Amino acid sequence: MQIDLSGRTALVTGSTQGIGQAIATGLARAGAAVVVNGRGEQRVADAVAAVRATAGSADVTGAVGDLATEQGAAAVVAATPAVDILVNNLGIFGSAEPLAIDDAEWRRYFEVNVLSAIRLIRAYLPGMKSRGWGRVLNLASDSAVVIPAEMIHYGMTKTSLLAVSRGFAKDAAGTGVTVNSVIAGPTHTGGVEDFVRELVGDELPWDAAQHEFMVRYRPQSLLQRLIEPEEIANLVVYLASPFASATTGGAVRVDGGYVDSILP
């Protein structure tokens, strides 16, 4: 299967590292003009250079803006007025004692993980509909379905993204635009390495620490290892392509079999 996204513009939020940067690289390799997003100019510039270096002669630019704020979202939309592929990857996570999470923290998680996506969907979906083609992909998580006791606030936001995706898919019905969420499983990123160390300690070598984390905190995984960011990106690139034209309103899993369900 040869995926060709030439002539399409893709915006990947929160793409200066980890899964977001892997998705930006995958889309660039498929021929899309890719816009990398982050909050800091230097980090965005470094990520643009990294994607270009990996994806060859790709058209890669940056859009700086904190999408958890109305002003930041407006700045990104002003820099990139129209996109064909919107990947809402931006997200924060962390463990917390459930009853100790205060109102401000609940709001912060919702602003960053959910409202940032809604803002950009509102900005870009009308243009996609009018042009008769578009892809909106919201990065959810296994935590949307299997809510971790130590990450209730995070799980809540990812469950919300499933609802957001389904609802906007209905709004885009019959227009040639698809809207889906991607349920990513436990993935190997720098942030997750820090999270693993937070839970299992610094004493073990990384391979042993990863194994301990999976056994103790993510035993449902059928892979029994962390997923690599490129494995998430592969599914996103497919869903962004014309080959996925009949997939919309879905919650598509690349979770290593983590969610114990026979349904997607």
This prediction has a pTM of 0.95
Domain assignment present for residue 117? The answer is: yes
Q: 114 and 201, same structural domain?
A: no
Other C-beta atoms lying within 10 Å of the C-beta of residue 4:
11
Cβ contacts of 97-103, under 8 Å, gap ≥ 24: 97/150, 98/149, 98/150, 98/152, 101/152, 101/153
Q: For residue 199, tell me if it sits in a domain.
A: yes
Residue-wise pLDDT tens digits, 39-66: 999 999 999 999 999 998 889 999 999 9
Give residue 191's pLDDT band: very low, low, confident or very high (50, 70, 90): confident
CA 161, CA 145: separation in Å to the nearest integer?
11
pLDDT at residue 20 is higher than 90: yes
Cα 219 to Cα 24, 47, 52, 190, 258: the distances in Å are 30, 33, 37, 21, 8
Residue 160: partners with Cβ closer than 8 Å, 6 or more residues away? 110, 113, 114
In a shared domain, residues 139 and 209 = no
Is 137 in the same domain as 218? no
Same domain, 139 and 197: no
Instruction: Find the helix or strand (DSSP H, E) in which 180 lies.
Output: strand 177-184
The overall average pLDDT reported for the chain is: 96
The number of angstroms, rounded, from the C-alpha of 16 to the middle of its chain's C-alpha atoms is 12
CATH number of residue 127's parent domain: 3.40.50.720
Residue pair 230/26 in contact (Cβ under 8 Å)? The answer is yes
Q: How large is the average pLDDT for residues 189-198? A: 90
Q: Judge whether 259 lies within some domain.
A: no
What residue numbers bound the domain in which 205 lies? Answer: 188-226
Residue 221 and residue 116 share a domain? no
- Phi, psi for residue 175 in degrees, rounded to 5: -100, -10
Q: What's the alpha-carbon Rg for the chain, to the nearest Å?
A: 18
Task: Identify whether residues 138 and 60 lie together within a single domain.
Answer: yes
pLDDT of residue 1: 86
Mean pLDDT for the stretch of residues 76-96: 97
Residue 264 has pLDDT above 80, yes or no: no
DSSP letter string over 198-220?
HHH-SSS-HHHHHHHHHHHH-TT
Q: Are residues 222 and 232 in the same domain?
A: no
111 and 173, same domain (yes or no):
yes
Pair (219, 241) in one structural domain: no
- Per DSSP, 145 falls in state T
210 and 238 co-located in one domain: no
Is residue 25 in some structural domain? yes
CA-based end-to-end distance of the chain: 22
Inform me whether the pLDDT recorded for 263 exceeds 90.
no
What residues act catalytically?
154
CA geometry: angle 242, 246, 252, nearest 5 deg:
95
Number of domains making up the chain: 2
pLDDT tens readout for residues 235-262: 999 999 999 999 999 999 999 999 998 8
Q: Which tens digit of pLDDT belongs to each residue from 130-167?
A: 999 999 999 999 999 999 999 999 999 999 999 999 99
